[in-house]
Amino acid sequence: MIRLLLIAVGYFFGCIQTSFFYGKRRGVDIREHGSGNAGSTNALRVMGKKAGVIVFIGDMGKMILAVLLMLLVFKPRGPEFVLLIKLYTGLGVVLGHDFPFFMDFKGGKGVASTAALILILDWRMAVMGLIVFFGIALTTRLVSLASCVLLVSELILYTVLILNGKIACGVLAHWEAILLFAVLVVLSLLRHVPNIVRLIRGEEKPLKI
């Protein structure tokens, strides 16, 4: 029951579409411009650097806020629930971000929100994520490529950390802890399928900053 509650609360926070609401304030429906994706990269392309930064911070912020709130609410249950709370709330946030009910279930790709969860999960994952993402993004200017490589590399590192006991599972079994993060990664990769196809064909447009 607690798992479903965490997903539900996370979904509510995930539905706070930063790019959509910011765009509306500027008279722009982000879904009708650029790639049509309600995320920070498209916000950057369509509305500029300031918008991209604000949307990225907002998408990370809703993940951090949701997880911290649930940790506060369920803190009396004990430290063994910490990873469970982080992962299930995080899953809910990404689902809400990717499939917001008020936008016909067409949202973003969940990279910024997943990045925030990575930051919450383990500092080693966060450090590697920064190196991988910015290393690839600054070299190739292909944000989609940087995002996909980041997600896969983080899943590998996370699995290694879990199996070696570097991240405490608490009430979660190892397989459940790994499966949850894998679902988050797969969700985001599926949202990147059009980008992946364009990357394979050499048709993906580099981001001009």
The answer to whether residues 24 and 18 touch, using CB atoms and an 8 Å cutoff, is no
For residue range 99-144, what is the model confidence (pLDDT) as tens digits? 998 888 888 888 899 999 999 999 999 999 999 999 999 999 998 9
Three-state secondary-structure class, residue 171: coil
Tell me the chain's radius of gyration from C-alpha atoms.
Answer: 17
What DSSP assignment string belongs to 17-70? -HHHHHHHHTT--GGGSTT---SHHHHHHHH-HHHHHHHHHHHHHHHHHHHHHH
**Model's pTM, two decimal places?**
0.92
| Residue spans per domain, the chain | 2-201
Q: What CA–CA distance (Å, rounded) separates 185 from 193?
A: 13
For residue range 49-77, what is the model confidence (pLDDT) as tens digits? 898 899 999 999 999 999 999 999 998 78
Mean pLDDT of 148-169: 95
Q: What CA–CA distance (Å, rounded) separates 206 from 209?
A: 9
Residue type at position 189? L
